[in-house]
Structure 1
Amino acid sequence: MGLHLVIGNKNYSSWSFRPWIAMTVAGIPFEETVVSLDDPDFKARVGQHSGTGKVPVLIDGEVRIWESLAILEYVAETHPEAELWPAGRAERAHARAVATEMHAGFAALRRALPMNMARPPAARPLGDEVRRDIVRIEAIWRTCRARFGEAAGGPFLFGRFGAADAMYAPVVSRFHTYAVEVGPEARRYMDAMMALPAWQAWTAAALREPWVLPHDEPDWPEVPRLAAT
């Protein structure tokens, strides 16, 4: 029996996006089940795999792993050939630190700029807390690229795409959707992320989804949409 990933809507579920893009870029085969976050049976359907009743959940035989970062760690252990974490101890420690910071932080940004991949890019007013989150995230990206990514010869945080990039993928999406102004280094990183075939596949699927969740639609009651491809 292979890996099975249970996720939420591709348009809205930032937590689901992380393990999905990591496993897809790494070429790790898995089946997926999408459960809309507003499905009346969501808790029951997801709860049979996870006591939290939340997505994502990775199923590997009798093993159940929930929480995006825990899934990434499990996949990195079971598929070392994917090299989801950098090989060097210092690089690996730094990657885990910034990934954990993303997992636990940036609440103001999450609240103000919900992931919505189908929304045409347009700016929103940003409060001071959100701007502080943006400044910190740009600093993380800039430091990772300068200390590790450039030396490794790849366009991602530590050179090649890895778990840390997967953790920041929803932020790249948010910065793009809400036309957040960033510096040239952050823009190059965002362009590299959004050029990934896996990114484009997820986006195309998100645009085809029929569900609309009002609390994740910042322009509600209007629901502007990019054209599906």
Structure 2
Amino acid sequence: MSAKPTLVIGNKNYSSWSLRPWLLLRQFGVAFDEVKLPLDTPEFYARIKDYSPAGRVPVLIDGDAQVWDSLAICEYANDYFLEGRGWPAERTARGRARAISAEMHSGFSALRTHLPMNMCRQGPTPAIGADTAADIARIRAIWREARERHAARGPFLFGTFSIADAMYAPVASRFVSYTVELGAPERDYGDALFAVPALQEWLAEARTEPLAAEHEKTTP
């Protein structure tokens, strides 16, 4: 058995939930093996139960530990690989980072439905309904507030890269793919995320995957 953990993910172009823990592990230099299962294919349904009782990606296998769900994997990584460095060190910032990460994890259903992650998408901005616009406005407010508080510490939401940035990275990709109008603070934050070598690596690999139109509306 490999001494490294294994992260099972979906397509890099579409699987926003897979991106989150993958980016965290890569950014912090945690070595892991990767298993990629193509979404919505016979191969996926034939193999996913070997890894995840929930039947979904991502899932982390670390020895006899089996952890599914993006945020749960990030928390596991923070505990066992990062020595707590995945969250801000200061108590107030740490609590806020956890809160906005949980909000991303459980909310923004209109954004997920109407602007699914497709990192290689090119085209005009689609019509955006009121619910999706409200989600976008809330995310923009979260980003602006965090950057106003922590800009002196670095370019990410809480200065240095944290789990909160991993949770919002797929949203930043959506804003690029769908050419969503943003203010300067949000654009600058998105630029900082896309300058991260790990995210550039993910994007480069996404561009090598065969595109399938049916996936464009399946992976929030």
Q: Distance in 2 between matches of 1:164 and 1:64?
A: 22
C-alpha displacement of 1:82: 6.7
After TM superposition, the runs of 4+ consecutive aligned structure 1 residues lying more than 3 A away are none
C-alpha displacement of 1:68: 0.2
Tell me the SS of whatever aligns to 1:41.
Answer: helix
**Corresponding position of 1:200:** 200
Q: 1:104-162, CA deviations, whole angstroms, 9 ceiling, x for partnerless residues?
A: 00000011111011112531110000000000000001111112x214x2000001111
C-alpha displacement of 1:79: 2.0
Tell me the SS of whatever aligns to 1:145.
Answer: helix
Tell me which moved more, 1-10 or 78-87: 78-87
Letter in structure 2 aligned against 1:164: A
Give the 5 Å matches for 1:1-229: 1-81=3-83, 83-147=85-149, 149-151=150-152, 153-216=153-216
Tell me the SS of whatever aligns to 2:169.
Answer: helix
Q: How many residues align?
A: 216
C-alpha displacement of 1:88: 1.0
Q: Using structure 2 for the length normalisation, give the TM-score.
A: 0.94
Q: Is the 8 A contact 2:10 2:18 kept in 1?
A: yes
Q: Is the 8 A contact 1:38 1:213 kept in 2?
A: no
Q: Is the 8 A contact 1:26 1:82 kept in 2?
A: no
C-alpha displacement of 1:50: 1.4
Q: 1:79-109, CA deviations, whole angstroms, 9 ceiling, x for partnerless residues?
A: 2347110011111110000000000000000
Change (3 A) 1:194 1:113: same
Q: Distance in 2 between matches of 1:65 and 1:204?
A: 27
**Superposed CA RMSD:** 1.4
Higher normalized contact order (CA 8 Å, seq sep 6+, divided by chain length): 2
Letter in structure 1 aligned against 2:189: Y
Q: Is the 8 A contact 1:36 1:211 kept in 2?
A: no
Q: Is the 8 A contact 2:113 2:217 kept in 1?
A: no
Q: Is the 8 A contact 1:121 1:176 kept in 2?
A: no
Q: Is the 8 A contact 2:37 2:43 kept in 1?
A: no
C-alpha displacement of 1:171: 0.2
Q: Distance in 2 between matches of 1:176 and 1:39?
A: 27
Q: Is the 8 A contact 2:9 2:57 kept in 1?
A: yes
Tell me the SS of whatever aligns to 1:80.
Answer: coil
C-alpha displacement of 1:72: 0.3
Q: Distance in 2 between matches of 1:79 and 1:31?
A: 14
Q: Is the 8 A contact 1:56 1:66 kept in 2?
A: yes
Q: Structure 2: which 5+ runs fail to align? A: none
Tell me which moved more, 129-138 or 113-122: 113-122
C-alpha displacement of 1:213: 4.4
Q: Is the 8 A contact 1:44 1:53 kept in 2?
A: no
Q: Using structure 1 for the length normalisation, give the TM-score.
A: 0.91
Question: Percent identity of the aligned residues?
Answer: 51
C-alpha displacement of 1:210: 1.9
